[in-house]
Structure 1
Amino acid sequence: MRETFDVLVVGGGLVGASLAIALDGAGLAVALAESAAPRADLQPSYDERNLALARVSLNALEALGVLDASAPATPIRRIHVSRRGDFGAVRLDAAELGLPPFGAVLPARELGNALLRRLDGCASLVRLAPAQAVGVEAGDEFVTVELRVGDATRRVRTRLLVGADGTESFVRNAFGIGAERHDYAQSAFVTTVTTERPLDGTAYERFTDSGPVALLPLGERRAGLVLSVPSAEAARVAALDDAAFLDVVHERFGWRAGRFSRPGKRKPYPLARLLASRTTASRLVLVGNAAQTVHPLGAQGFNLGLRDALTLSELLRAAQATAGDPGAAELLARHVERRAGDRAATTSFSDDLVRLMGNEFAPLRLLRSIGFHALDRIGPLKRRFALRGMGYRGDVPALGLLR
């Protein structure tokens, strides 16, 4: 049984699994440690979480053989952004801007199942599951990781350790890497609703003084809903029956899609921002939520984490082609350099937008409205804004480029 690897990915979530797949066939000895045993979820859920995949993410997942006809995604062809109480709105239409669909919406269950199918086809990947990292010992040439496998423990060595184990990352904490945290004092309800009128490929982002509301197109007249409320109101909203909950949604969102009905189950998720003080250490790199967890506004979290994984896979493949060391300090420094612009811009954009849109200062509201009005009418500016939202910012991984 192999005990030494070139790359060990700790965390088998969406980002960790995507990285393992991106390294398939690279000639590296790769292991993926998953805290739960892999299991396909074949049963649709009426209240399941839905992901807005940016264009770069779609391109990459298709190129990796993850997304195909068995995991149908609903294209996002138009985006409508507005702020209650302000004049002006931003309306983006991909066809009018000469662009492909901005992205697509896919239930997280469907993406998870697609990743599992693709992982099953990885020829040389070693999957350790269920296996939980409980100890880490850094060395000059290897990192030794202690894994709990059932009632037993197993020690494995790796030339590069990848922490893809989420916001409360054990790996990040084990290396003593601090993180800046900010509590938005908001909670998000994630669910689905049926709309009276089909969204026809339109995604909505509606800002209010109580927090943003997002509506994402699914098939037919089904839509994904993200409703943010002040944390102090979360318990009250969670206790509402379906009719009263929809009254809150309509009061916040309006009637652009007609009357809502049949809301799914829902519970509040506290919203907070986390930024790791650094994303690398000796023979370690953090990706996804372990490196940064952002506000769900604009659905940037998974997309940002996937770009972390894609960039790292590019660098590791290039190093392997020249028999380089996958954990070399130079490689990790290059990863930080390539990710810096995208990471800073995306995390700042999400954070600044939350603060800007929640500010009720009258002069700022006027400037905000003027900005919306101008953006909606300046074609080149709209196209640039759209491309950034599609993931084309900073040093874009090659797998995500337009085809």
Structure 2
Amino acid sequence: MDVLIVGGGLVGASLAIALERLDLRVGLLEATPPGALPAVFDERNLSFAEATVNALTALGVMQKLRAPTGAIARIHISRRGDFGRGLLEASRYGRDEFGRVVVARDFGEALEARLADATRLVRHRPMRFLGFAESGDDVRAVRVADADGERVLHARLVVAADGTRSAVRDALGIGVEEHDYEQTLFVTRVRGSRPPDGTAYERLTDHGPTALLPRGDRHYGLIHAVARDQADAVASLDEAAFLARAQETFGWRAGRFLSCGPRSTHPAIRVVARQAIAPRAVLVGNAAQTIHPIGAQGFNLGLRDALTLAELIADARTIDAGADCGSDTLLQRYAARRREDRERTIGFSDGLARLTANDAPLLRPLRSLGLFAVDRVASAQSFLVGGAMGYRGDVPALCREVRA
């Protein structure tokens, strides 16, 4: 085959849909059987930047969503114990919204519905990636296993879209730089005394952010970070005690928290691959970089990985219908195009996470000055707005398409 995508999660499935429009032999290797969704499609709340909404609309995915999404019309940023706040308004930039909030489970169902329309795509499921076998220079030989035992698949390009602890990345011998923020993130939905009004809140504390995202079902998506050594105690709290803790941390800007759904926990750990490409292989999404969720950039960044790769393959085949989609030239172009967006987004996320969680007294006036700049200085606002909307670096063409 031409392309084998290992991993059927958010980024892998999106890439499969993007490549399906080309005259390619594409395989999608998935660990879950037909009728089941990968574990990543749970109650987590995904913040889609405008560029992401544009691209997923062009790919026919947004149209498959059955549950309502929530518009992000403004972003409110504050830090507990610091003076000031930052407020970004979409209307100031000639837009109704910066993006949309989508529940991961709903997104998974929409991707599945769209994949069902991809008649040229071959889905290998359930199937596990085992490693690589000896092969020639023109293909990668991939060892896999399913219910019938082990076998070998051959592809001109292997795409690692198998998450933070990527088995493909390990098999390629690509190392990572890892940083543990010593935070645990509690994720749930919250019903408040006031329904969402399009405001996304980012409340920063010494132990990480507490964010509220406006969902489309009259609930907020809550992400509540706690110090790792407090995580077990917080996990043991009943609903009322957990809501009281979140309320005390966040404040009353969204009214009183009345109830919450099931809670899931996730460690805040940054894992960045030392390189994104290898001979006839490329890393995308969390396999290439898993970043702190502050600023909600993770999936948006990973989708731009996938769409850039699809665009480069399409461009190469426009010039030569038989172009090699796994050639070293194409992969070097991919790495060069992704460098600025990847480095700037990782740097922004990591810097913000470290700065805002540092309780050093000398940093408080600097942070307050920063919040003042966000609220009043046009250049500071423009920098944040461009990133929040997904327009950072060399953006794929699909991200810039005007939505219907």
* TM-score above 0.5, yes or no: yes
Per-residue deviation, 1:261: 1.5
Q: Which amino acid aligns with 1:387?
A: G
| Aligned positions of 1:53-64 closer than 5 A | 53-64=48-59
196, 200, 207: which is aligned to 1:199? 196
Per-residue deviation, 1:325: 0.7
Q: Which amino acid aligns with 1:48?
A: E
Q: Which amino acid aligns with 1:364?
A: L
Q: Which amino acid aligns with 2:328?
A: A
Q: Which amino acid aligns with 2:175?
A: G
Query: What RMSD, in angstroms, separates the aligned Cα atoms of the two structures?
Result: 1.5
Output the CA distance in 2 between the equivalents of 1:156 and 1:268.
Answer: 36
> Partner of 2:21 in structure 1?
25
Per-residue deviation, 1:220: 5.0
14, 32, 35: which is aligned to 1:39? 35
> In structure 2, the residue corresponding to 1:244 is in which secondary structure?
helix
> In structure 2, the residue corresponding to 1:197 is in which secondary structure?
coil
166, 169, 177: which is aligned to 2:166? 169
Q: Is the 8 A contact 1:145 1:155 kept in 2?
A: yes
User: Structure 2 regions of 5+ residues with no counterpart?
Assistant: none
State how many pairs are aligned: 395
Output the CA distance in 2 between the equivalents of 1:40 and 1:270.
Answer: 25
> Partner of 2:102 in structure 1?
106
Are residues 386 and 247 of structure 1, via their aligned partners in 2, closer, same or farther at CA, if it must alter by over 3 Å?
same
> Partner of 2:47 in structure 1?
52
Q: Is the 8 A contact 1:287 1:305 kept in 2?
A: yes
Q: Which amino acid aligns with 2:117?
A: G
> Partner of 1:354 in structure 2?
353
Are residues 70 and 135 of structure 1, via their aligned partners in 2, closer, same or farther at CA, if it must alter by over 3 Å?
closer
> In structure 1, the residue corresponding to 2:62 is in which secondary structure?
coil
Off by >3 Å, runs of 4+ in structure 1:
69-72
Are residues 158 and 90 of structure 1, via their aligned partners in 2, closer, same or farther at CA, if it must alter by over 3 Å?
same
User: Structure 1 regions of 5+ residues with no counterpart?
Assistant: none
Per-residue deviation, 1:100: 4.0
> Partner of 2:242 in structure 1?
245
Are residues 235 and 76 of structure 1, via their aligned partners in 2, closer, same or farther at CA, if it must alter by over 3 Å?
same
Output the CA distance in 1 between the equivalents of 2:80 and 2:393.
Answer: 32
> Partner of 2:184 in structure 1?
187
> In structure 1, the residue corresponding to 2:77 is in which secondary structure?
strand
Q: Is the 8 A contact 1:28 1:320 kept in 2?
A: no
Q: Which amino acid aligns with 2:364?
A: R
Output the CA distance in 1 between the equivalents of 2:192 and 2:102.
Answer: 18
Q: Which amino acid aligns with 1:226?
A: I
Provide the identity percentage: 52
| Aligned positions of 1:261-300 closer than 5 A | 261-300=258-297
Q: Is the 8 A contact 2:69 2:217 kept in 1?
A: no
Question: If the length of structure 1 is used for normalisation, what is the TM-score?
Answer: 0.95
Cα deviation per residue 1:154-197 (whole Å; 9 max; x = unaligned)? 21100000000011111100011111111111100000110111
Per-residue deviation, 1:402: 4.8
Output the CA distance in 1 between the equivalents of 2:325 and 2:373.
Answer: 47
Output the CA distance in 1 between the equivalents of 2:386 and 2:157.
Answer: 33
> Partner of 1:222 in structure 2?
219
> Partner of 1:90 in structure 2?
86
